[in-house]
Every structure is written in structure tokens, then in C-alpha cells.
Amino acid sequence: MRYKTDWSQAQQRLTALWHGQRMDRPCIAVRAPIPDAPSSEPIAPADVEGCWLDPGFRVQLARRTLQSTWWGGESIPSCLQMAGWMICLGGTPRFDRHTIWFDAQAVDFTQPSPFRHQPDSPWMRKFVRLWKALCDEAGCDGFLVGSPLMLPACDLLSMHMGTEAFLLAMMDQPQWLADAILHGAREQVKAWRQIISLTRESGHVYWNGNAGWMALWTPEPYFTTQCDVSCMMSPELFNRFIMPELEIYGGEYGATWHHLDGGDARKHLPSLLSLSFLKVIQYTPMPCEPPNGPAHLEMYKQIQSAGKIVHIQVTLDHIEPLVRQLDPARLILDTTCASHEQGERLLEQCVDWCAESPCLCS
């Protein structure tokens, strides 16, 4: 990779992680700023939409991030493109400087779900232009472009319908909603195929992975999933409405990486861990919870005991206890350091901590 001279070693460690093979330390993605890197910010477009979708601006922003970052350990040069939310089953997006959301719309429960992939919509055309520009900038293997940041059907429908209407439909229109989620999931699979074909046709080789936030490359394709609206569901409703959607993604991609959002969603962990195709769980605590670290150690162990990888975004002060107490064969940590030197010391320390930890099953 253009921005990572030790990429071959990182690939070896990430491949071992994927196959549950223990090495001298767990995988650790560590990044640090490069002091003498270019510091000027590209000039943002005047319109907010352009901040997310303008190809020239987004490529300049990506180039600056890539050039100004030391990509240590198993960190992967890449940049988050939240504009993947434009793959949205026909919703109408709204933009501000910090996020993207969608207009809520009423649905007619006497008719099939109107939410479907629209490959020729204005939003998809804008996203495709951006994606092509990123692929051109990356070339064959300059950095990881990855899979697009797509939302699953469950979360898209909760946005498009409005959360309250979505939840009420579980009670009042359960068959309609179950069918709508499954239809949306199949439509999202079509959309993923479209973008991945575009990526591969460009000649770019790093399409099987998350880019930017919680970046992860694996030796096999996988799909990133979540269900943030599940924090408002009972386990019974999750099993009825969401598990069949996850089965569609697992059947298409063979493996999934799941973002579990907050303590109110942890009640669904047993169902998630029962999925044979689910390979990785990443947990984001709610603001009222302790941050990722020793406070959640028992949950991490529960995930690993089910044979899954746990992907943890963590601060430096919480890394040592996790390295000492978790199975390194099923662990990847994500952190930042103040400098390249501090990052290198961390990687060396992790080897020592891992060697001093009790024998762990792998």
C-alpha cells in the first residue's frame, strides 16, 4: 500500500485473526499524526451536500488524511465515506456539517413496501461519481477503498418511516413490516453488488473491508451489519424481524461484522452469537456507560467464547488489561497515539503483555 510499508506483515496478522490463529500479540490498529505532514485543510464546498458528495473535495480530504497519518500495526490506510448512506432504498437524504439523515414518509400498508434500490436515482448517480473518483485516486492498491458504508434495511426503514411508525408497525402491521425488511435487505444486496462491481472494474483490489471508522481488511469478503433500532426491541421482536434479515446478508456474503450499539442492544447478543456466519462483533457503549475497556470485559469474553472476534475501539490506558485477559486469537483493538514512537512502543509492550498472560484457549 502507498501509505503503509509494512502492509504485508499486517495482512499476515489479519489473516491469522480471521482464522483464529494465535500470534505473539493481538491485532492492534494504531494511528498517530505525522508532525511534518501537510497541514492545510482543503476548502470545503459552500453547500453542505457537497461536503459529503463532491468528488474533488472528498478526494482532497482523503489524500490529506492518508498523508498526515502514521498507520501502525494493523491499521489500514483508508477514509470513511458516510455518503454510502445514499444507497438508501429510495429515501430523501438531508445533510448538515456533521451527519446525514432522511425525511420520514407515510406508507400505505395496503400496498407492498415502496422502499427499493434505485440505481439511476440522482443520489446514486452522485455517489457513483464520488466512488469512481476514490477508486481512481487509490489506483490498484494505494489504500483501502473497501465496501461502501451502507445501512441495513431495518435501520433504513426506521428512518424512512420514522422510528415511532416503524415500531408501531411491528405490532399493527407485522407481516407487512417483516416483508418490507426482507425486501429491503434483498435490494441492498443488489446495491452492494453494483458498487463492488464498479470497484473491481476499476482495478482496485482492496474492496473487501471496512474503510475509515473501525477499518478492517480480511482475506475473504464480509458484510458490515448493524441494527441500531434494536435497542427499542424485545429479543422476541428482534428474532422475528431482524434475524431473517441477517440471514440474507450471511447467505450472500458468507461472513458478517456486526456493530452493536449500546447497552440497550446487548440483550440481543445471544441471538447474534448463534449465527454461524457472524465473525466479528464491535461494541459501542452508550454515553451513560463506561467506555470500552475493563468494564465490559465479561461481554468481550462472552463473544470470544462463542468463537467470534471482538473488535474494540479503546483508549491507550485500557489496552493493557484487555491484552492480558482476552484471547489474542480473537481480538483486534483500535486506538490512537500521540506519535509514531509511542505507537511503536505500544506494539512492543503488547507482545510482552501477551507473553505474560495466562494460557488462553484459541
pLDDT digits 0-9 by tens, 142-170: 999 999 999 999 999 999 999 999 999 99
Domains and CATH numbers, the chain: 7-356 (3.20.20.210)
Cell of 277: 456466519
Per the prediction, the chain carries an average pLDDT of: 95
- What is the distance between the alpha carbons of residues 315 and 336, in angstroms, rounded to a whole number? 7
Radius of gyration of the chain (CA): 20
Contacts of residue 315, Cβ cutoff 8 Å, sequence gap at least 6: 291, 293, 335
pLDDT digits 0-9 by tens, 7-53: 999 999 999 999 999 999 999 999 999 998 776 788 999 999 999 99
Q: How far is CA 273 from the centre of its chain?
A: 18
pLDDT digits 0-9 by tens, 43-63: 999 999 999 999 999 999 999
